[in-house]
Structure 1
Amino acid sequence: MLGDEVMDSLRKHGVDQLKPDAWYPVDKFIEVFADWFKNPENTSSHLVSVGMAIIDNAVLPPEMESAPLVEKLTLLSKLHDINHRGTGDPGRYIVEQVGEKHLKYITNTPYPDDMIYGYIYGVAKRFLPRGTHFKVAYDPEVPRQHQGGTHTIFHLTWE
């Protein structure tokens, strides 16, 4: 999917001129993602990239800089909650610490799994110490939401 196609889809659904201080219906973005899936070529990698870019550009409270590492890595739940309001269920993130260097993210949101993968990858890239090797993986034992599951589970591990 090329930049022009992305912009055409955003324009088609009325979300091509976003204002940082405005609120937008989630449904509009779900319609945009549905358009993207009509042309599946590289859709997965584009959604991962979008998720990473959102985290790269997220403005965080100053106290996050001094927060413990695990608190930073579990930030998605807080970001999701503060960026959704109004009626409807925007879903949620549950983050569990499985081991010293292993977090499990359980998600049920309207957003594509690959975009959430990008969020988690972006959080790890932004907050783990430079040079840390990490891996984000889908849980192979649980069907993902886009495969008909009720939720998607991701694992973040690092060395």
Structure 2
Amino acid sequence: METETATRWLDDAEQCAWRTYLDVNRLLTYQMEKDLQPFGLTNNDYEILVNLSESEDHRMRMSDLATATLQSKSRLSHQITRMESAGLVVRVNCESDRRGLYAVLTEQGMETMRKVAPHHVASVRRHFIDMLTPEALAGLASSLKPVAEQLRDSRGKI
């Protein structure tokens, strides 16, 4: 005989917090995407450029980049193909593993980062950071940190 677990429905305060989080997440993602459009970039493009610009030699193994950006290897491959066409990245074979590939930031990709990053930071400030007090930002970071850590830890288990 199966044991049923009672559903712990959200109370009004929990429902409000959850729905507010969902609203902010969707609206902020939409706004960030909109603010990148004049540069011909998507949020995914920008995230890839950031990861590559911050990595050693401006390169990452495709599998590591897929993990870092929470994309499937197939989806990332299509994304990198589009970014290669735009001259932002190139794929380079991994000498130590014939099947492995690196995504490498081109000089044009780095120049794009230099040009776009100040606008992106201004957008983040305008639509998020400057809307909250320093105390609220610290509380938000502190509150969301255990959620992020638990989700990161469980990523490999899914």
Q: What range describes the TM-score normalised by the shorter chain of this pair? A: under 0.3
Identify the structure with the greater strand proportion: 1
Structure with more contact order per residue of length (Cα contacts < 8 Å, sep ≥ 6): 1
Larger Rg: 2
User: TM-score when scaled to structure 1?
Assistant: 0.24
Identify the structure with the greater helix proportion: 2
User: TM-score when scaled to structure 2?
Assistant: 0.24
